[in-house]
Amino acid sequence: MKSYFSTQIYDLVFYFKYCLLYIVIQSCTSKENILELSDTFLIFRVEGSQLLKENRPVFYKGVNALQTYGLGDAELMDRWNIEIVREFIGNLREQPISGGAIQASDAVWYHPLQSIVNQNRAHGKITILCPFGWVNENGERTLLTGLNPLEQDYYPAYKTKMQTIASHFRDQPDVWLEVWNEPFHWDNQNNYSHELWLKSMEDMVDNLRERGFDNIILVPGNEQGQSEAALLAKGQELMESRPNLLFDLHAYEKWLVDQSEAAIWQRLQQLKSQNLPILFGEIGVHNVSSVMPVLPFLNAANSAQVSVLAWLWNQNSEDRNALLTDDGEPNANEDNHQWGEIYRTFLER
């Protein structure tokens, strides 16, 4: 039987918890969502077309990185004012989540996701983890781009590994997961339909939510991630019972070639007017065509306050899309339209 003193302590603790819960609920616009989701939801969330951090509208500028192959220079990222990093997972099946680096069946060394997140976090950066490839038991890699997810023979194993990642990071709100990199054919071939896009995204998003992952989930568009058509047709239906989603579009030919700044602005505003929250997870000067202009897009995105991440944070003077030279300087020359300098200037705006 409790003593009078212990009973009073218990009552005070209960009262404090009740008051704290009441304050949290009253500070948010949707009591229903707060009651359904974990406290992670309170830090980053989506409302209408807007990404919010602690209930304040935000947008970010960042890069894609390859730190699963080894941690990069965090201080150099800081000097470039990078706020968010999308991390390439090229071997989802064997990618370590925590612990030490491993040598996988493809003879490549992979570094754990938690170590990457820890370094990004220590420098104030959000981390997006995105699967780009699957390596089988024979060490053969299949890139996910252009594929119909549900038709892949490794899809059940993909779901299991993604759930494991979701379970590990569900209490780390600055870690967001993207379900798949650039799905479906470039020109909507191979039996593509918007219904297939919706079915696929529902299954992959629900797969993560089943493990209590209430953090931001990124959902790609169709046409290898470049098209907003699926979002406009089925995006609202996907979001009806699935809060905290951001749609990831990629800015290459379909956004950069023969597109004026005004035309890009109109496309962005159409998405916003339909309450479709977007982020551009990739933009680069080169894809399958010649080197493309990027300034009209960057200007429009900055004016519209849409988050943008460049492809690619890499020290490689020979790669047109690499932002850095071999020596770590901006990779800027006539062959890549001064890409490194242009994007560094964009990060400073």
Determine the pLDDT at residue 41. Answer: 52
The helix (H) or strand (E) run that includes residue 26 is: helix 4-26
The strand pairing partners of 308, in sequence order, are 61, 280
Predicted pLDDT of residue 42: 63
Residue closest to 91 by CA, chosen among 54, 142, 57 = 142
pLDDT in tens, the chain (349 residues): 333 333 333 333 333 333 333 333 333 333 233 223 445 556 999 999 999 999 999 999 999 999 999 999 999 999 999 999 999 999 999 999 999 999 999 999 999 999 999 999 999 999 999 999 999 999 999 999 999 999 999 999 999 999 999 999 999 999 999 999 999 999 999 999 999 999 999 999 999 999 999 999 999 999 999 999 999 999 999 999 999 999 999 999 999 999 999 999 999 999 999 999 999 999 999 998 789 999 999 999 999 999 999 999 999 999 999 999 999 999 999 999 999 999 999 999 9
Q: Could you tell me the pTM of the whole model?
A: 0.89
The pLDDT assigned to 289 comes to 78
C-alpha distances in Å from residue 299, one per residue of 112, 139, 258, 274, 293: 36, 42, 15, 22, 12
Tell me, what's the pLDDT at 20? 39
The pLDDT of residue 96 is 98
> What CATH number is given for 37-348 in this structure?
3.20.20.80
The three-class DSSP label of residue 3 is coil
How many angstroms separate the first and last alpha carbons of the chain?
65
Give the whole-angstrom CA distance, residue 286 versus residue 311: 9
- For residues 348 and 245, give the distance between their C-alpha atoms in angstroms, rounded to a whole number: 27
Q: Locate tokens 């500070």: which residue?
A: 27
Nearest-angstrom CA–CA distance, 149 and 155: 7
Residue 105: exposure state from Cβ atoms within 10 A (0-12, 13-18, ≥19): middle
Question: What's the CA gap between 133 and 135, in Å, rounded?
Answer: 7
